Structure 1
Amino acid sequence: MGKRKINWTVWFSYLVVIGFIGYILVMYGLNNPRSTGIVSGKLENPNFHYNTWKILFFIHITTGSIALLLGPFQLLKASRKKIKTHRIIGKIYVSSIFLSVPAGIYLAFYATGGIGSTIGFLILDAAWFITTFLGLKRIHERNIQSHQEWMLRSYAITLVFVTFRLLVPIFMFILHLGFAISFPLAVIVGIMINLSLVERYLKRKLKGTKNTGSTILKVDVK
């Protein structure tokens, strides 16, 4: 029963991720980014370098999309049983994030919504880097359980790019908060929602482990 639930969650994640990537391709791949609302406003800024922004933007969304696609597969038990494949995909996932974060930091300074959005996206980039780095560090320390926990948090932050897009229309068109509030609020609330769901899952998993008398999995490095 638990296995079915995990697989259903993974495949649902894929459905959401593919839908999101399709949206990005239509909005920014098939259409000219200049014609989109979030870009047209930036062009009024004399310090805005469109060509540099466009290159880093496409690096950001391409590497972010790779991380979005690879994450669910890494969460499957079948993936963890294939150690070599798991490691290769894990390296691609981590590398994609480490490439995406610097581009995201640059983009944050031109984010729609002003200084609030800049701060929100910088927090997001910092959380993305830290959770992924700690996940990588833990596997080098052979602490498998902690590695899995931090990579879950890392993917939760990766999914904020989807959650954020779902929250912005709610804040803008239902609550009528405007760009300056909606964008940073959507980022922060997205982080809080995604991480709280992961922490709730990990807490329930730890409780179940204690109830069954299982021990915490940690590889001895001595």
Structure 2
Amino acid sequence: MKNDKKRKFTVGAMYFIIGFFTIYIFVMFILNGVEWAPMVKGKMKNPNFSLTTWKWFFYPHILLGTISLAIGPFQLTKKSQRNPKLHKMLGKIYAVAIFINILMVPYLSLSATGGIGTTIAFLVLNVLWLWTMSIGVLRATQRKITAHKEWILRSYAITWVFVTFRIFAIPFSLFLDSSLAFPIAVYLGIVMNLLFVEWRKPKNKKLPQGEKSERQIPSYK
């Protein structure tokens, strides 16, 4: 019962953050118009920057990113774990959303705020995204369920950089130039998210064997 409460609290907290983040994205880039966003105004100073082309990549990027974020916490719930068909279907949507998004990132990175440092940071993030997601899918096809669970959680940690990057970038930008603030925010988000997943993993392994075998996916308890 105590573990169930912890799980519900964790999932609820994640959805609260995702909801707040979604509202921020909607207001900043859709309601106000993407061309009025501070980071886009900076890009428009570049004569080689095409706002129209950029929008074709950016809007699918934030939509698919939000879908991926929203699916993750639900996959940790018992409702998903007890419904294999639903779990598998959402897993496929999650994987496809990420793989399509991976194709969008290189173009968006070329005009990233902060210059070449930020471009490299986002490309590193993209490689990690592709790596963790690909291994997660591969392990699923090989029916190596334990390894599949671990790599999917790592892929979700990378997906969560979609949120943590902005959490770190905003305060860093107050006292650092964007050429430093943005790359640092990306790398810090990657490291902290992956460390959190790895930190929680040993605790999952210490649980009684009977409880562990009943799970469909690992959860943060």
Alignment map for 1:80-159 (pairs within 5 Å): 80-159=81-160
| Contiguous gaps of at least 5 residues in structure 1 | 218-222
CA distance change for structure 1 residues 213 and 13 in 2, over 3 Å: closer, same or farther? closer
Cα distance in structure 1, aligned partners of 2:147 and 2:28? 38
Cα distance in structure 2, aligned partners of 1:136 and 1:187? 25
Contact 1:138/1:147 (8 A) holds in 2? yes
Match of 2:204 in 1: 205
Cα distance in structure 2, aligned partners of 1:35 and 1:5? 41
Structure 1 stretches of at least 4 aligned residues deviating more than 6 Å after TM superposition: 214-217
Contact 1:63/1:96 (8 A) holds in 2? yes
Superposed displacement of residue 56, structure 1:
0.3
Letter in 1 for 2:192: I
Cα distance in structure 2, aligned partners of 1:171 and 1:42? 19
Match of 2:176 in 1: 177
CA distance change for structure 1 residues 12 and 216 in 2, over 3 Å: closer, same or farther? closer
Letter in 2 for 1:70: I
Superposed displacement of residue 215, structure 1:
11
Cα distance in structure 2, aligned partners of 1:54 and 1:169? 22
TM-score, normalised via structure 2 length? 0.91
Cα deviation code 1:88-125 (max 9, x no counterpart): 11111111101111111210111000001001111111
Superposed displacement of residue 46, structure 1:
1.9
Contact 1:145/1:216 (8 A) holds in 2? no
Cα distance in structure 1, aligned partners of 2:29 and 2:23? 10
2:44 counterpart SS class: helix
Q: Does 1:77 align with 2:49?
A: no
Match of 2:218 in 1: none
Superposed displacement of residue 43, structure 1:
1.2
- Cα RMSD after superposing both structures: 1.6
Match of 1:64 in 2: 65
Superposed displacement of residue 214, structure 1:
6.6
Cα distance in structure 2, aligned partners of 1:89 and 1:216? 22
Match of 1:188 in 2: 187
Superposed displacement of residue 169, structure 1:
2.2
Cα distance in structure 1, aligned partners of 2:118 and 2:169? 12
CA distance change for structure 1 residues 200 and 36 in 2, over 3 Å: closer, same or farther? same
Larger mean Cα displacement after TM superposition, 12-21 or 73-82? 73-82
Alignment map for 1:41-52 (pairs within 5 Å): 41-52=42-53
Match of 2:163 in 1: 162
- Structure with the larger RCO, 1 or 2 (CA within 8 Å, 6+ apart): 2
| Contiguous gaps of at least 5 residues in structure 2 | 214-221
Q: Does 1:12 align with 2:13?
A: yes
Percent of pairs identical after alignment? 42
1:142 counterpart SS class: coil
TM-score, normalised via structure 1 length? 0.91
Aligned residues: 212
Cα deviation code 1:117-149 (max 9, x no counterpart): 001111111111211111111111111111111
